Amino acid sequence: MPNEYQSMLKAVGNIAYEAGMEIMKFYSKNYDSHFKTDGTPVTEADVAAESIILPALQSLTPEIPIVSEESAAGGHIPDISGKNFWLVDPLDGTREFIKGSDEFTVNIGLVINLEPVLGILYSPAKNVTYFGSGLGSAMKKEKGSSPKSINCREIPSKGLDVLVSRSYSTSKRLDDYLSSKKVHSRIPCGSALKFGLLAAGEADLYPRFGPTYEWDTAAGHAIILAAGGNLSTFSGNPLSYGKSEDKFLNPGFIAFGQK
């Protein structure tokens, strides 16, 4: 279903690509890293990627403010009372990046009227991009190939393939939640790549109990909506955006293809 934001997908995808290429300059090399006050790590690669994304988005849409992880950590939070803003995680999966894993992404999401309407997830180490803006527009582009349409799948008869965070792959809460469901497998995966796999019909469910921020989810949320899936809190309400009073912290949520 076309919408007015789809025309920005190519430009925003190019921004994510440039940021990803900058990240790869640090990949598997020595670089500085430290922990922020919230206990999450940050590296030179995070900062370098953000320094590419922010001015590029400002040039593309000067009227739309940008909430970005590292800037927000430094106390630079714009006025989002207009309910329209970008949410950026310049390097999602920093822990995986530090370990030398290839499961990290550049996340750029657009929120309009507090709802995610456009998303780009770029995995520079895997050279794959997931993107979409509006129902039916979800796409996946792999190295050397043209973009292909993707959709969330119906639940297979064998049971659910459940995506789990590598950092939170086992917990009593997760076990309790899945105990009443027919589960075929648990698929550990780092970063926002889980949203891409769900949107591409390679899994069925992604329950998240651990902490996340809005910049972790906005891009993937938009892509899942574009692929025919959804994302809600455990109480059944849509995951909301613009929670500046809570430092953009999300509650637990469930991302799913076919309910």
CA distance 137 to 150: 8
pLDDT in tens, 149-173: 999 999 999 999 999 988 665 689 9
Asked whether residue 229 falls in the same domain as residue 199, the answer is yes
User: Domain with 10 in it: what CATH number?
Assistant: 3.30.540.10
Q: Domain containing 106: what range?
A: 6-149
In 3D, which of 4, 238, 2, 247 has the Cα closest to residue 114?
A: 238
Residues 6+ apart with CB under 8 A from 235: none
Considering the domain architecture, whether residues 127 and 12 belong to the same structural domain is answered as yes
Quick: pLDDT tens for 9-38: 999 999 999 999 999 999 977 676 777 777
Domain shared by 145 and 193, yes or no: no
pTM: 0.95
Residues 210 and 127 in one domain: no
Domain boundary among 114, 149, 184: 149
How many domains, the chain? Answer: 2
> Quick one: 182 and 245 in the same domain?
yes
Can you spell out the DSSP letters for 37-99?
TTS-EEEHHHHHHHHHHHHHHHHH-TTS-EEEHHHHHTT-----TTS-EEEEEEEE-HHHHHH
Residues 218 and 118 both lie in one domain:
no
Mean pLDDT for 41-50 is 92
Average pLDDT over the chain, rounded to an integer: 93
Q: Is residue 240 part of a domain?
A: yes
In a domain, 199, yes or no: yes
Q: Are residues 144 and 234 in the same domain?
A: no
Residue 1 covered by a domain: no
Domain boundary among 128, 149, 170: 149
